[in-house]
């Protein structure tokens, strides 16, 4: 009996030692939740030209290149499906798993939830277990720096870790232009929103521009150049690229839309409108194939830019058409910050830019399946509009109640350590405080607060999700100075803001009015003429005022 027990003990110990010696097994592909299905390509199906050196099965390479092209235009869902098709052809293609992880890492904005982190971690673990190529190992190691230990390291720290590792790939494989492109994107993601020198963006842009002549039809190069130069003072650098990107990847809704970032920066409203009409049409094509009863987030994103451009041409009818269309939406996908931002910004922009204070004061949340409590910045846009509408109507108590909600949302964002969005809400709070102070006859405090809000806004870069602030604080400063009979100071405020936001309808009209009230009739005529060109087909009363002024001065 003792011998039997001893033998059993030896066998158990041997089994345990054997188990301890084994490496943890990577998850099987069936455990990963990979996206599968036919790749949906709208229009021509063209996404640009990419050639990624790959050690995987020759038959998989054209599909892999398509996946990379989709990835470079942020068509993340279809990119993952394409990478999975590569795995169906070659299950040992480690870089296809890397591609899945890249498709789940949306580098230029913070995603919600943790599912994408869990998935990325799993697929990279599997990629490491099967990869034998030194260069491909370097790519996998670099991306793992973002996913590793994600529970204990902040998002921004992991973004910076990825950039450092991707830099090593870029410097080691100097002839690998894809390494340069992905490094430039990783670098761009580390940019500090408060850095007005744009040092990171310029460096990233220079890398991309250096290889652009070699690959003029590469979607990633064009796309990331636009993201790097989407700022006042830099936008002109990206204008030639912006006008080409839509031609490079005509099947991509995002590629059709992205040039409008630059068109918006430069006040080229007709080009922005054309860009986003094409983008929203492509987005509808995609949603009809994927979810016929729902609307894709890319469509709402394009609609927000469309509304912004229509408003700068004084075309309230076209802007309202987009809003009425938005009201018909019941379901959207994916439900994210981009959907929430557009759904809030579209009605807020229309009400505030048209000076319809009654509409602004009574704005309600769109009837979409959105968790507004999880999106305090986006919800604050509607709250801000109601607060502004209320105070401009003289309903000070109502405005103060709305402002309390803004304060609560800012606190949520600060607790979540989202400093950028907390700062955006703080600018709104200061703006409302300023107009409340003015309504309560404290003119000195009102102007001081409004100047502070404008300065804060000028020192903060806009988020890529938005074409611009719902109303620029600098423009509102001009409005306040004009209202308090300080036309020269108002003119200076408007003109400064127009350098940041060229060809804004209300800004141009404000500058014209301030110039006229200052006695500078020549400058007033120049601004009124600019307004007429902006609002050729507008029935806004400001255009009629401009025409009448110019008629009296014999300028038309």
- Where along the chain do its domains lie? 472-552
**CA-CA distance, 112 to 296, in Å (whole number)?**
17
pLDDT at 28: 59
| Terminal Cα-to-Cα distance of the chain (whole angstroms) | 115
Does a cis peptide bond (omega within 30 degrees of 0) precede residue 314? no
pLDDT at 40: 85
pLDDT winner (highest mean) among 36-50, 250-264, 433-447: 433-447
- Does the structure show a pLDDT above 50 at 11? no
Res. 465 pLDDT band, cuts 50 70 90? confident
> Are 254 and 75 a contacting pair, CB within 8 Å?
yes
- Does the structure show a pLDDT above 60 at 30? yes
pLDDT at 29: 64
Radius of gyration of the chain (CA): 27
Burial class (CB in 10 A: 0-12, 13-18, 19+), 294: middle
Res. 41 pLDDT band, cuts 50 70 90? confident
- Does the structure show a pLDDT above 70 at 243? yes
Distances (CA, A) of 160 to 157, 178, 333: 5, 19, 29
What's the pLDDT tens digit per position in 150-173? 999 999 999 999 999 999 999 999
Alpha helical stretches, state H, 313-442? 316-326, 337-353, 357-361, 376-392, 396-415, 419-439
pLDDT at 13: 42
Token pair recorded at residue 272? 């922005």
- Does the structure show a pLDDT above 90 at 531? yes
pTM of the model: 0.89
What's the average model confidence in pLDDT over 96-101? 98
Unique residue bearing structure tokens 């084994």 = 22
Res. 336 pLDDT band, cuts 50 70 90? confident
- Does the structure show a pLDDT above 90 at 4? no
What's the average model confidence in pLDDT over 63-84? 96
What's the average model confidence in pLDDT over 66-88? 96
Residues in the chain: 556
**CATH 1.10.760.10 holds for 472-552:** no
* Phi and psi torsions of 265, nearest 5°: -60, -30
Count other C-beta atoms under 10 Å from residue 138's C-beta.
19
- Does the structure show a pLDDT above 60 at 18? no
> Are 163 and 111 a contacting pair, CB within 8 Å?
no
What's the pLDDT tens digit per position in 352-379? 999 999 999 999 998 888 889 899 999 9
Q: What is the distance of C-alpha 24 from the center of its chain?
A: 39
> Are 106 and 76 a contacting pair, CB within 8 Å?
yes
pLDDT at 461: 83
pLDDT at 23: 44
Res. 196 pLDDT band, cuts 50 70 90? confident
**CA-CA distance, 308 to 319, in Å (whole number)?**
8
What's the average model confidence in pLDDT over 264-268? 97
């Amino acid at each position: 009996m003792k011998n039997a027990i001893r033998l059993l003990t030896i066998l158990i110990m041997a089994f345990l030692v054997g188990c301890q010696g084994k490496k943890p097994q990577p998850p099987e592909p069936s455990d990963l939740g990979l996206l599968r299905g036919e790749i949906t390509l709208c229009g021509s199906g063209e996404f640009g030209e990419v050639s990624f050196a790959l050690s995987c099965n020759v038959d998989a390479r054209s599909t892999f290149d398509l996946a990379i092209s989709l990835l470079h235009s942020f068509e993340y869902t279809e990119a993952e499906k394409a990478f999975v098709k590569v795995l169906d052809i070659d299950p040992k293609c480690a870089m296809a798993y890397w591609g899945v992880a890249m498709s789940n890492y949306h580098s230029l904005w913070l995603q919600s939830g943790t599912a994408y982190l869990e998935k990325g971690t799993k697929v990279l673990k599997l990629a490491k277990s099967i990869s034998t190529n030194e260069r491909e190992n370097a790519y996998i190691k670099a991306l793992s720096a973002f996913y590793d230990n994600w529970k204990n390291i902040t998002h921004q720290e992991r973004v910076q870790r990825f950039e450092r590792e991707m830099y090593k790939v870029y410097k080691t494989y100097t002839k690998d232009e894809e390494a340069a492109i992905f490094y430039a994107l990783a670098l761009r993601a580390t940019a500090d929103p408060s850095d007005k020198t744009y040092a990171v963006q310029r460096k990233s842009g220079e890398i991309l521009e250096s290889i652009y002549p070699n690959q003029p039809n590469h979607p990633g190069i064009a796309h990331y150049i636009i993201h790097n130069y989407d700022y006042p003072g830099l936008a002109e650098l990206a204008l030639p690229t912006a006008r080409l990107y839509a031609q490079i990847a005509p099947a991509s809704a995002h590629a059709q839309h992205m040039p409008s970032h630059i068109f918006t920066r430069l006040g080229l409203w007709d080009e922005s409108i054309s860009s986003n009409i094409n983008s929203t049409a492509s987005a509808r094509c995609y949603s009809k194939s994927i979810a016929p009863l729902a609307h894709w987030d890319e469509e709402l994103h394009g609609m927000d830019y469309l509304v912004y451009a229509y408003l700068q041409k004084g075309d309230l009818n076209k802007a309202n058409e987009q809003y009425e269309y938005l009201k018909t939406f019941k379901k959207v996908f994916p439900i994210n910050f981009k959907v929430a931002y557009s759904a809030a910004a579209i009605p807020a922009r229309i009400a505030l830019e048209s000076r319809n204070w009654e509409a602004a004061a009574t704005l309600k949340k769109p009837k979409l399946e959105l968790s507004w409590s999880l999106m305090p910045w986006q919800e604050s846009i509607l709250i801000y509009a109601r607060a502004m509408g209320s105070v401009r109507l003289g309903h000070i108590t109502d405005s103060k109640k709305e402002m309390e909600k803004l304060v609560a949302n800012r606190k949520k964002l600060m607790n979540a350590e989202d400093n950028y969005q907390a700062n955006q809400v703080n600018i709104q709070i200061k703006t409302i405080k300023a107009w409340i102070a003015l309504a309560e006859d404290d003119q000195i405090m009102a102007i001081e607060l409004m100047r502070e809000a404008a300065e804060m806004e000028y020192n903060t870069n806009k988020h890529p999700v938005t074409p611009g602030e719902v109303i620029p604080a600098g423009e509102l400063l001009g409005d306040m100075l004009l209202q308090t009979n300080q036309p020269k100071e108002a003119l200076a405020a408007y003109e400064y803001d127009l350098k940041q936001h060229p060809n804004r309808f209300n800004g141009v009209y404000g500058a014209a009015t301030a110039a006229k009230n200052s006695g500078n009739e020549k400058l007033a005529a120049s601004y009124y003429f600019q307004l007429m060109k902006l609002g050729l087909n507008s029935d806004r009363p400001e255009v009629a005022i401009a025409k009448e002024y110019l008629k009296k001065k014999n300028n038309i």
